[in-house]
Chains A and B, each alone.
Chain A
Amino acid sequence: MSRFTLRDSILATLLAALVLSAMPWLMSDFALALTLTCLMYAGLAVSWAMFCGATNYLSLATAAFFGMGAYVTAWGAETLAYGLAVLLGGLAAAVFAALVGAAVLHLRGAYFAVITFGLGELVRHGITYYEKAYAGTVGRVISDPPETVTIYHTVLLLTALAVVTALAVRASRLGLALRGIGSDEERARTLGVDTRRAKVLAFSLSAFFPGALGAAMAMRWTYIDPLSVFNPFIGFQTVLIAMVGGAHTILGPIASSVLFSLLTEYLRLQFPYLFLVILGLLLILLVLYLPGGLASLLDRWRWGKSRA
């Protein structure tokens, strides 16, 4: 992507978004639902990679952010306008990430992975308990959800925004600081980066999108309970997609979210029983034999061309 300027990349993103925005009138319901899933995972994976890809942190907090956003919708559905709920969902996740980040971003590696996972679970169990004890419900029905087309456009907008943000961050000083932190955090500090501030800022920024996406998707699911929106697999799958795509890139996670959603759908239909076994096997093979992710294929191809 280095051949393109920031402006080119942003224009390309917006163009793609424009084309995709016409899909509700061109596609079958099934294809549209599939596209929606692709878009959601693309948004999640790109925003995950925005922070984790550059800094080499392994965050499993995506499910927590997603679920928080969804619950903002669930609790506010009757009082809040739809757009406002989505915005608030994103903001709630961003604020939560800033607080959590300030407390735990000094931890690295496995510790950080475990604690971010634990935080998600803590919030999930906390909400479950609260709902049971004080609201007397397990799940919530969203009574008057917007049209599917509206939700599709919201998710598309959020994902496009995530991509544009990731592009801008990468080209900015913040992006440089994050790459420095990923490479050698102490060295970055000796060159004047307030690493704590940079990490908290970027972590919080990257949490906005899963929060907002959770708020939007809750409208589509219409019935939500803590287990479905805080499902740890949302977090795992995001990490998986981003890393299989190549977490230090932006195009990689997008490509791999499309690939994953299609592959999952295909395998599910073809091999309803065997499909998760095959998925597991594929994942292992990918990590072992293509450790740089799909993006490294592109690099290799480009390298081959430039040598020819």
Chain B
Amino acid sequence: MAFWFELVATGLITGGIYALVALGLNLQYGLMRIMNISHGEFLMLGAYLTWLGHTVLQVNPILFLPVVALALFALGVVVYWLCFRRIIRTAPAVEVIEARSLLVGFGLLFLVQNAAYLAWGADLRGYSFLTEAVDVGGARFQVNRLVVFAFAVGASLLLLAVLRWTLIGKAVRAMMQSPTGAQLVGIDTRFLHPVVFGLGLAMAGVAGALLSMVYEISPGMGEPYTVTALIVIVLGGLGSALGSLLGGFLLGLVETFGMHYTSPSLKMLLSYAVLIGVLLARPKGLFAR
């Protein structure tokens, strides 16, 4: 029993991070059709920021979370202004926005990832934080994992709440359903787009900060998360925030259980098999009606 519990919990912890990363990406895609393939690089920046905060400034990583979120939000607004605003304004069709933003995403990926290599080198970095183990329901967990889980789920739920209940959230959802209709009722995309893009990067940054508490970090750490996030948003449905949350947990569980019952080397095989299975059976995502 405890063993099952541990497996489920591990799956949920992984899934919580997946959900957080996917949510940000999905929000950007759903609102603006930006396929930001460099999403994971900003996760990596969040991780390095936290590591710097901890090792240089001796700040508790948890207290540093808001700083990371704000810094990446600001970075997101700048990146939006410099790179994506022009694409969205000049592209004649959404397919063109998707294609061009994908290319710019590659550019950002090269740029950010290699700048990080230049700045911090290829070595794995890390610090230890809350590594003692506690007993929860008969299973043992390191405290830092529980913290990561709590914050990942907390941040995801916070975002869902913002989307559901605040004015800006309602505006975002209206835009996702009908861009022209929303513009007619006076929703200002010049304000909304950079804010949502910034929000997406802030989520990625927080995810990176959380990951740095548990794993060692490196400039290449972000890429696999981008890929996983893409899988998650396709699982949950493009543009669906709740779908990303559920999809993240689902993928986390599938990976954990799958790896346990087959072999760890099959992890990616499992994710892709799930992705392709879902896309073939339900092209619009698992939770689409």
A and B touch in the complex (CB under 8 A): yes
Report the minimal beta-carbon distance from B83 to chain A, rounded to whole angstroms. 6
Q: Which of B95, B108, B111, B275 has a CB less than 8 Å from the CB of A56?
A: B95
SS class of chain A's interface: helix, strand, loop or mixed? helix
* Partner-binding segment picked from A81-89, A101-109, A155-163, A206-214: A101-109
CA distance A104 to B279 in the complex (A): 8
Interface window among B99-107, B151-159, B244-252 = B99-107
Residues of A within 8 A of B (CB): 56, 58, 103-104, 106-111, 113-115, 117-119, 121-122, 125-126, 128-129, 132, 236, 239-240, 243-244, 273-274, 276-277, 279-284, 287-288, 291
Q: Is the interface of B mostly helix, strand, loop or mixed?
A: helix
Kindly provide the distance from the CB of B263 to the nearest chain A CB, expressed in whole angstroms: 8
Besides the known contacts A58-B102, A277-B110, 9 further A-B residue pairs in the complex with CB atoms under 8 A apart: A103-B280, A110-B35, A118-B276, A129-B269, A239-B103, A274-B114, A284-B104, A291-B87, A291-B100
Docked Cα-Cα span, A119 to B280, in Å, equals 12
In the assembled complex, the Cα of A113 lies from the Cα of B95 at a distance in Å of 11
A110 to B25, CA, bound (A): 12
Which residue on A lies nearest to B272, using beta carbons? Answer: A122
User: B residues touching A (Cβ–Cβ < 8 Å)?
Assistant: 29, 33, 35, 83, 86-87, 90-91, 94-96, 98-100, 102-104, 106-115, 117-118, 227, 230-231, 234, 238, 265-266, 268-269, 272-273, 275-276, 279-280, 283
Q: Which of A125, A132, A276, A281 contacts B272 (CB 8 A)?
A: A125
Interface centre among B107, B114, B230, B234 (most CB of A within 10 A): B107
Which of A107, A121, A287 is the one whose CB lies under 8 Å from B100? A287
Chain A neighbourhood of B83, CB < 8 A = 284, 288
Do the beta carbons of B100 and A122 come within 8 Å of each other?
no
From the candidates B94, B265, B279, name the one contacting A107 in the complex (CB within 8 A).
B279
Q: How far is the CB of B278 from chain A (nearest CB, A)?
A: 10
Interchain CA distance A288-B269 in the complex, whole Å? 36
> When chains A and B are docked, how far (Å) is the Cα of A282 from the Cα of B106?
11
Set B102, B108, B117: member contacting A280, Cβ < 8 A: B108
